[in-house]
Structure 1
Amino acid sequence: YFYIARHYKWALDYMFLIAEHDAVVIVEDDLDISADFYEYFAATYSLLYTDPTLWCVSAWNDNGKSNLVDVEGGGSILYRTDFFPGLGWMLTKDVWTELSPKWPKSYWDDWMRASEQRKNRACIRPEISRTRTFGKKGVSNGLFFEKHLKFIRLNEKSIPFSTMNLTYLLKDEYDDRFERRVQAAEVVSLVQLKSGNLPADYDYRIIYHTKDVFKKTTKALGLMDDFKAGVPRTGYRGVVSFTYNNRRVFLAPANSWKGYDPTWS
């Protein structure tokens, strides 16, 4: 972990401070990439400079298993997330100039997820991942690879993102639309969702009030159940979006939610 953090700092200092690039895409050496990987980053690059509430674009969906994503129609769907995903990601020179002087000696990814670094900023992430790891023998994989990482689906249908209007991902437009869709979703229980009897053409919402309810629900559905600095993987404003039995589902906090609780882990 110490070597990795040191290598990241050396490489990014070189790319931004010496080579003077405006943005860098980081790809670990144990990642496969989709055919539209570069298209995805080229198209989202301008968003990082347009919206100060964004600080990265990631190719990765932590809940990107085939049974949890819209395989048929989800290739073009992108989201904002409060969780830093990594695993193929882009940042700007401005962000690196901020991070470099205080870069940690180890565990750089969890450090990135701390509120002191995130500062309420979000990342862009896809419905269907544009990277897939084959690094079973990586620094922190092993059992985690066998139980989770190897099931993440890699996008197979190239999407011409550069021809699309992606301004819907800018905070002012995204938040209002996102909140309206979540609030309009029909509230159901975990039992109802798992029954498979719900109509397919509707959105559904499962509400959690406590960390224990969140973890119980995610484990039952095959979602990632952990938090970093109180933020669930893929979460945005406390909401985790996924599909189940081809139905769009939002695992969402109660309307009284006041923000992330850093004691949730």
Structure 2
Amino acid sequence: MRANKRLLFALGIVGFWTLLTYFIVIKNYDYNQVDKSKFHEKVVFLENEIKKETKNRKEIISRYQNLIRILNTKSITTTSVNSENALLELESNQNKPNSKIVFNGLYLDNDLYKPVIPIVVFACNRVSISRSLDLLIKYRPNREQFPIVVSQDCGDEATKEVILSYKDEVQLIQQPDLSDIEMMPKDKKFKGYYKISRHYGWALNTVFSNGFEFVIIVEDDLDVAPDFYEYFLGTFPLLRSDESLWCVSAWNDNGKSGLIDENAPELLYRSDFFPGLGWMMSKKLWDEIGPKWPKAFWDDWIRKPEIRRDRVCIRPELPRSRTFGKIGVSNGLFFEKHLKYIKLSETFVPFSTKDLSYLLKDNYDKTYINEVYRTPVVTFEELRSGLVKVDGPVRIQYNSRNQYKATCRNLGIMDDFKSGVPRTAYAGIVSSFFNNRRVYLAPSTNWKGYDPSWE
């Protein structure tokens, strides 16, 4: 009865407010006080306000009708719980996120070039996730084709409220295991990495178990470029058809102004180095690596030779993602020195209409590697001093780890390795810009492959 009275009360408010507005404003309006155009504007304004208020009231009524239906199906008695508390509890349960993800098929209109790819946003306790979500929603061409699923760990209420404020623009799922992780005292500083890996494993299992074949993984501190979705649409057929590819990434580790050709936003590369930070993977890959997912440091683990198995990623010259997360588990590692200077592409490139077959392994190896080794060899000192007599790209050769790292520091690019692979490298070759000239940092022609001892 209490719920029915609430329903009648809500309906009464709507009717009373509408009649009151009519009699006070319409019936008593003095047409001689202002001209008819202003009167018309006020009428239109009031009409719109009434429509808004009516819509709001209808939402309230619908909510209580839903609760009444639930009450009728559940035997809630006054002896077990106060009816008012029952309403509040049921309403709260209705607003709780769950792990049910809407799945509307693998392709739009059964078109193999219109894949449905969810964007999985990993979140924890950054209320600034709104910055990421705003751009993802702003540039999204089709919400049915690119559903946004936010997976939240940590249980932070403020961040949850921000996510829920986007209503049906995003779907929220929450990592159910928030238990502490037992660790040796000396390893406690790494606990955050263990929780991140646990979250990734759960979320990817959850999304892929809903039927999707591909996902794009984003973190809650990433800005994305205007053609972010178009970039993945264009490269999707490559990932689907080329067995030597295992990801497409929006990130360039050396993507700072001055180190890239900002006039080549359409230029893409193959890379032996897993970039992460806005990347697409397949269910086929997850079925392979998911069962052996590591307890921590998943991104370093995925770069290990026995996991990568000589597969590569596509990455851009101009980044399609940029991190703004200075504070996090890594305590701002590299941020002040490097990450905050990454150049986010501002040019929209229609990748889905371009021929990207040059990125297929056989084509790429014939053209890119041959192109690199046809360029003249120079020293960094010749390059720095302007003593290079030819125009166009040049090559600096390295033969040792120390020589490579010293040249990287001179060029201003990142000099570290992961499992012996330099950042952005393909066949040992790292491409960058120096003084407006393309520079290839490359091993000798008798290169035998990556040395995992190079760290």
TM-score range, shorter chain: over 0.9
> Post-superposition shift, 1:198?
3.4
Partner of 1:13: 205
AA in 2 matched with 1:175:
D
Partner of 1:241: 431
> Post-superposition shift, 1:199?
5.7
Q: What is the correspondence of 1:253-264 to structure 2 with a 5 Å cutoff?
A: 253-264=443-454
- Superposed CA deviations along residues 109-146 of structure 1, whole A, max 9, x for unmatched, are 00011001100000000001000000000221525100
Number of aligned positions between the proteins: 263
Same amino acid, percent of matched pairs: 58
AA in 2 matched with 1:44:
T
> Post-superposition shift, 1:197?
4.5
- Superposed CA deviations along residues 144-190 of structure 1, whole A, max 9, x for unmatched, are 10000001100011101011001110001001101110111110001
SS at match of 1:249: strand
Whose strand fraction is larger, Structure 1's or Structure 2's?
1
What TM-score results when the alignment is normalised by the length of structure 1?
A: 0.97
Distance in 1 (CA, whole Å) between partners of 2:439 and 2:333 is: 28
What TM-score results when the alignment is normalised by the length of structure 2?
A: 0.57
- Superposed CA deviations along residues 7-50 of structure 1, whole A, max 9, x for unmatched, are 1111111111x211110000000000000001001111111111
SS at match of 1:66: coil
> Post-superposition shift, 1:200?
7.3
1:27 and 2:233 matched: no
Question: For the aligned residues, what is the CA RMSD?
Answer: 1.1
SS at match of 2:313: strand
Distance in 2 (CA, whole Å) between partners of 1:28 and 1:159 is: 23
Conserved 8 A contact 1:64-1:128: yes
Conserved 8 A contact 1:200-1:247: no
Conserved 8 A contact 1:135-1:141: no
Conserved 8 A contact 1:60-1:88: yes
1:151 and 2:151 matched: no
Q: Kindly tell me: are residues 21 and 200 of structure 1, through their superposed partners in 2, closer, same or farther at Cα, counting changes over 3 Å? A: farther
Distance in 2 (CA, whole Å) between partners of 1:198 and 1:96 is: 48
Partner of 2:67: none
Higher Cα radius of gyration: 2
Say which of 397, 400, 412 aligns to 1:210.
Answer: 400
- Superposed CA deviations along residues 221-256 of structure 1, whole A, max 9, x for unmatched, are 111000001000000000001111111110000111
Q: Kindly tell me: are residues 199 and 39 of structure 1, through their superposed partners in 2, closer, same or farther at Cα, counting changes over 3 Å? A: farther
Q: What is the correspondence of 1:34-183 to structure 2 with a 5 Å cutoff?
A: 34-72=225-263, 74-183=264-373
Moved more, 255-264 or 137-146: 137-146
- Give 4+ residue runs of structure 1 displaced > 6 Å after superposition: none
Distance in 2 (CA, whole Å) between partners of 1:179 and 1:141 is: 38
> Post-superposition shift, 1:205?
0.2
Conserved 8 A contact 2:218-2:279: yes
Whose helix fraction is larger, Structure 1's or Structure 2's?
2
AA in 2 matched with 1:97:
D
